[in-house]
A and B are shown apart, each in its own frame.
Chain A
Amino acid sequence: MSRPSLRSPTALSIVLAIVGVLAPLGSVGCAIVPRYQREAFANPAMDPQATSLEDRSLGKMRGAREVAAGGDGRAAGGGCACSN
């Protein structure tokens, strides 16, 4: 049986995913933007709440047709007869 290696595509993709996702968060906890400069974040295009029904509908479509349900803040695998 071969030993797991970082050179394998699966291990490499996992490492790259973790590094890629976490790298921009190196500055977490820093107070960079004062309150009076946050106008852009209130715009609907920047606020996920503005598209919550659309996100829910398309998320359900993807969850029922792909292997990778879950991870959207809800428990996976419920609410439909799909096995994904």
Chain B
Amino acid sequence: MLLGTGALGLAWLFAAPSLRSQARPRDPLADLRVEQMAFRFSIFQQEGRGLQSQAEIDRTPGAAIQRGSEHAWIFQPMLSAIIRQDRNTTHSLTLPVDIVTAASPDALNPDVQTNASRENEAAGLDLVTTVREREDISWQLHIGFHFEEYWGDGQIGGAFIHRFADDNATLRLGIETIFDSFDPLEPNGVDPGPVVNRFGAAATGSISQLLSPTTIVSAGYTFTAQFGVLETTYNSVPVVGGGRLQDRYARTRGRHTLTGEIRQAIPETDTYLGLSYRFYADTFGALSHSAMLTATQYIGDVWVRAHYRFHHQDAPSFWMSSAPSVDAPEWLLRTSDSDLETLDAHEAGLNVRWFFDRRGALTALSSYVQLGYVFYGRSNSLVMHVGSFDFGFGF
């Protein structure tokens, strides 16, 4: 699957311009160029306690149910490039890497677990090719894959983009599919093998509309269907009186997401505001509301950007803080994952971006350096600090 995805990506890279060239003469090869390279390095430091974690808890028989440690460090370098192949074809390439050291998976029995849980390195590649077929119509193809030590996935998708009303409105219809394959590590650290699979497909429709020379609104809807082993197989529910039960989810899940956003420019003060809202509901019974406000203020060639996000979620119907017995039937759906618990989350961030080597008006392709910090805190004790450094160079 993964090799097939990669082969398809390469095939598309070379086929895209020739497909379009049937309709119009091909631009000279000299148009091929890198438009922008961008790099981001983030450090995430996380503390918290969750029922699904077995780290740093009293394991003596009869001990009270406790929340285990969710301590984690994550180092995340990312690289992206925007490559223009010719006047109508661009490729956006992203290489994300994650290096995770987490207490929760480390607490699995070290004698039998795979090395995957101690320090987990993950890397991937995403390629999005956009071909402008006509002045008002574009096509996109997305190919991606991702590897961890005990996990791998391949992604493929596409989208149709139609601009109308003299480019005042843009309609985007897309489909994405993802195929995951992973080792089914159990809560005691044992890998019973063989690998298990998960498949997901998402259909998205979104539309944006200019409302004034300084205002744009957009809205979107996504339906995602998932099939297969959907739980984190080494997560478990504590049992009253001792012991743990492996998480168990239904084998299918339908997810609905509705988003809306408005962006407003205030040229008089060089200020830019954004307000977005996201509604989510799924067939597990989970539901959430998220709202985010972003404010950007320019001071010369520097922007200062602040954001605040509030998120509330209601847990899936089968979420439980403990199970009554270790003899629960196989079909009983259960989880005590703190990430799925009913909770509120607050997030606040601030970053400063300096646009150096400014040539003409600023655009998304202008060169910059940026420093940022984000605080993320949940009502069930998890706290995260994120520091980041960004660098982008426009050619």
Contact = CB atoms under 8 A, between A and B. Distances in A.
Verify that A and B bind, or say they do not: yes
Interface of A: 10, 13-14, 17-18, 20-22, 24-25, 27-35, 37-47, 49-50, 52-54, 56-58, 60-62, 64-84
Given A20-B277, A71-B224, 19 more contacts: A13-B279, A21-B277, A22-B219, A24-B211, A41-B265, A42-B362, A43-B363, A44-B355, A45-B305, A46-B265, A57-B42, A66-B311, A66-B345, A68-B288, A68-B290, A70-B280, A75-B201, A82-B339, A84-B339
B168 A32 contact: yes
A29 B337 CA distance: 44
Nearest to A18: B258
Contact of A80 (B122, B207, B216, B345): B122
Contacts of A76: 200, 202, 224, 226, 255
Nearest to B76: A57
Interface string B354-376: 01000001111010100010101
B180 interface: yes
B80 A75 contact: no
B313 A68 contact: yes
Contact of A78 (B146, B247, B272, B311): B146
A15 B363 CA distance: 38
Nearest to B70: A65
Contacts of A84: 339-340
A33 B153 contact: no
Interface of B: 38, 40, 42, 44, 76, 78, 80, 94, 96, 98, 120, 122, 124, 146, 148, 150-151, 153, 155, 157, 159, 164-169, 174, 176-180, 182, 198, 200-202, 204, 206-207, 209-214, 216-217, 219-220, 222, 224, 226, 230-232, 235, 247, 249, 253, 255, 257-260, 262-263, 265, 267, 272, 277-282, 286-290, 296, 298, 303, 305, 311, 313, 315-316, 335, 337, 339-340, 345, 347, 349, 351, 355, 361-364, 366, 368, 372, 374, 376, 378, 382, 384, 386, 388, 390
A29 B257 contact: no
Given A17-B279, A44-B363, A71 B220 contact: yes
Given A31-B165, A43-B362, A13 B287 contact: yes
A80 B96 CA distance: 12
B299 to A, nearest CB: 13
Contacts of B298: 45
A75 B155 CA distance: 8
Contact of B200 (A41, A77, A80): A77
B210 A78 contact: no
A83 B151 CA distance: 13
A78 B213 contact: no
Given A17-B277, A67-B286, A73-B204, A57 B366 contact: no
Contact of B165 (A29, A47, A65): A29
B146 A56 contact: no
A38 B347 CA distance: 32
B94 A71 contact: no
A61 B278 CA distance: 16
B182 A49 contact: no
